[in-house]
Amino acid sequence: MKTSRLWTKRMMGTAVAAALVGTGSMAAFAADGASVAPGTAAETAGADIKNVILLIPDGMANEATALARYYKGSSLALDALATGMVRTHSADAPIADSAPAGTAFATGFKSHTGFVGVLPDKATMPGQAAIAKGEERRPVASVLEASKRAGKATGIIATSEFMHATPADFSAHYPDRKNYDALSMQQVYNGIDVVLGSGSSFLTSAGRKDGNNLLASIKALGYDYVTTPAALKASKSDKLWGMFGSKALDYDLDRDPSKQPSLAEMTSKAIEVLSKDKDGFFLMVEGSKVDWAAHANDPVGVVSDVLAFDKAVEAALGFAKRDGQTAVVAVTDHGNGGLTIGNAATTGSYDEEPLSAFIGPLKKAKVTGEGFESKLNASRSNIKEAAKTYLGITDLTSEEVKSIREAKPGSMNYAVGPIISSRSGIGWTTGGHTGGDVVLYAYAPNGDRPSGVIDNTDVAKYIARVLGLDLGQTTKQLFVEAQAAFAAKGAKTEIKAASLVVTKNGQKLELPFYKNQALLNGGKITLDGVVVYNGSKVYVSQKAVDLIS
């Protein structure tokens, strides 16, 4: 495509924006036509972009980077990449949940709270085109899936469970982010080359409602399955699946380097594996727990994982500059917590407070609020001693002791976070997400990078453009409404035992939900995409439809 076709203006409306993600029926559902302005050298000749690394620090508010920079005492790798701002709203609300926010980055379509990789039921925010009847909850292709169809290697990394909202947005489709069984099954069978992070308990039969043993499936599909940093480093496989915890990974400050790799280490390993593909690669990296710390109003957790994320950005940027054919984009999906450097207590003294007043209390902490829980004995009778040793706090009030003692297992950061915040002049306006614009960071060796104030859907459009991907056509090929398509061929369909069963003139086609497999008259066939059941309709690839004559 020529660049002149791609830098659309808002006044051209949704029809032109839709063309960026494909033609046909899907075109009506593109997000508004915000421009994705070229970088300073976008119109000049330069190296083609073969690879894209997208890094997402989930829930990273703007002031979180300032706080992390002060804590570090020097610039962040992110700083030199700042190029614009991104609007984060979902299809029907000004404040987005991670599932629709990640869906926008992954597919170029806004969606609804909890919806992963599918269209919303309605689009009511200003500038949004209505969802046509019958297209609600339809799966739409991600840049990862389009990259895979283009012959590129693909990977996802997260410090949360691998089927959490953001990584799932790029590799699965379902209108409920809590349906871990459906999401993880798709991820296992979606042909991703590298999956690194955590969540091994959701791979075992005991950890799943459907009883499937996905660990056995991963190994049968040819992945090198690793569980330690040493095994990760030693792996020579082109198909790598690494799980370093049963659920989410620890915050970087709390992490045991012998048991869990850093986000930067996982990023570097993924690049090492994916860059072997001569056709290029797409990699998504999420610093998941910046968001979790912000929900808990835990500034130490925020700083811990912003800095860990920044090291992953540094690793990606280092490769990109050496490679010369790699674009790097870093952007959060939404703000969280309303973090401020300065709170109600500094109202009369904000301009007189030294940096140490804000950073000193954070520096004293040797663990995050979450990590502090492991330092308490079973009866939690050592709260004051542990606070002195691990948080650097010697003046806990009786109310603060009570809040720590009564904190539910797994929620200690919600007690400790506010205690540290009150001593460091850190303010919070909410325990939830926020709706403001977020900073866009980007690098491209030819200067072709998005800039200005853009929409979150424009991130997917940028990635698709520089990699030469057609998201609309990929959706058409991967997600055909199965019942209607087979009925048009005179075949009968029935949902039975978590499969779509298709029959016609002695032919029997079985399409198990959330897998890329089919059984035609008992013979196994590998499809080019996963079968998606969204609770009411089944979507299959055109290849599956063509199996019935």
pLDDT at 18 over 50: no
Provide the pLDDT for residue 46: 57
The four Cα atoms 193, 196, 201, 206 give a dihedral, to 10 degrees, of 0
Query: Does the CA dihedral 398-402-405-409 come out positive or negative?
Result: negative
Give the residue carrying structure tokens 């990078």.
449
In the chain, the amino acid numbered 384 is K
Annotated binding site: 58, 164, 166, 286, 291, 295, 333-334, 433
- φ, ψ dihedrals at 60, nearest 5°: -85, 105
Half-sphere exposure of 215 (CA within 13 A, CB side): 18
User: What would the pLDDT profile of 481-528 be if each residue is shown by its tens digit?
Assistant: 999 999 999 999 999 999 999 999 999 999 999 999 999 999 999 999
pLDDT at 11 over 70: no
Provide the pLDDT for residue 24: 32
Q: How many other C-beta atoms can be found within 10 angstroms of the C-beta atom of residue 365?
A: 25
- φ, ψ dihedrals at 286, nearest 5°: -115, 125
For range 104-121, the mean pLDDT: 98
Among 32-36, 283-287, 340-344, 387-391, whose mean pLDDT is lowest?
A: 32-36
User: What would the pLDDT profile of 247-287 be if each residue is shown by its tens digit?
Assistant: 999 999 999 999 999 999 999 999 999 999 999 999 999 99
Distance CA 390, CA 371 (A): 9
pLDDT at 30 over 80: no
In the chain, the amino acid numbered 546 is D
pLDDT at 396 over 50: yes
Mean pLDDT of all residues belonging to the chain? 92
Residues carrying CATH 1.10.60.40, the chain:
348-427
Q: What is the CATH number of domain 348-427?
A: 1.10.60.40
User: What would the pLDDT profile of 413-425 be if each residue is shown by its tens digit?
Assistant: 999 999 999 999 9
3-class SS of residue 150? coil
C-beta of residue 59 within 8 angstroms of C-beta of residue 291: yes
The four Cα atoms 151, 152, 157, 163 give a dihedral, to 10 degrees, of -20
In the chain, the amino acid numbered 261 is P
Q: What is the pTM of this model?
A: 0.93
Give the active site residues: 98
Distance CA 207, CA 226 (A): 19
User: Superfamily assignment of 3-338+431-469 in CATH?
Assistant: Alkaline Phosphatase, subunit A (3.40.720.10)
Which is more confident, 520 or 47?
Answer: 520
pLDDT at 28 over 50: no
Which is more confident, 47 or 181?
Answer: 181
User: What would the pLDDT profile of 317-375 be if each residue is shown by its tens digit?
Assistant: 999 999 999 999 999 999 999 999 999 999 999 999 999 999 999 999 999 999 999 99
**Going by DSSP bridges, is the β-strand pair 281-286/51-56 parallel, antiparallel, or unpaired?**
parallel
DSSP category for residue 115: -
Annotated binding site for Zn(2+): 58, 291, 295, 333-334, 433
C-beta of residue 420 within 8 angstroms of C-beta of residue 335: no
Annotated binding site for Mg(2+): 58, 164, 166, 286
C-beta of residue 259 within 8 angstroms of C-beta of residue 229: yes
**Banded model confidence at residue 536, pLDDT cuts 50, 70, 90:** very high
The fold adopted by the segment(s) 479-545 is Copper Amine Oxidase; Chain A, domain 1 (3.30.457)
Task: Go through the chain and tell me how many residues it has.
Answer: 549
**Banded model confidence at residue 47, pLDDT cuts 50, 70, 90:** confident
Provide the pLDDT for residue 20: 31
Categorise residue 292: left if φ over 0, alpha if ψ from -120 to 50, beta otherwise.
alpha
Residues carrying CATH 3.40.720.10, the chain:
3-338+431-469
Beta bridge partners of 87: 455
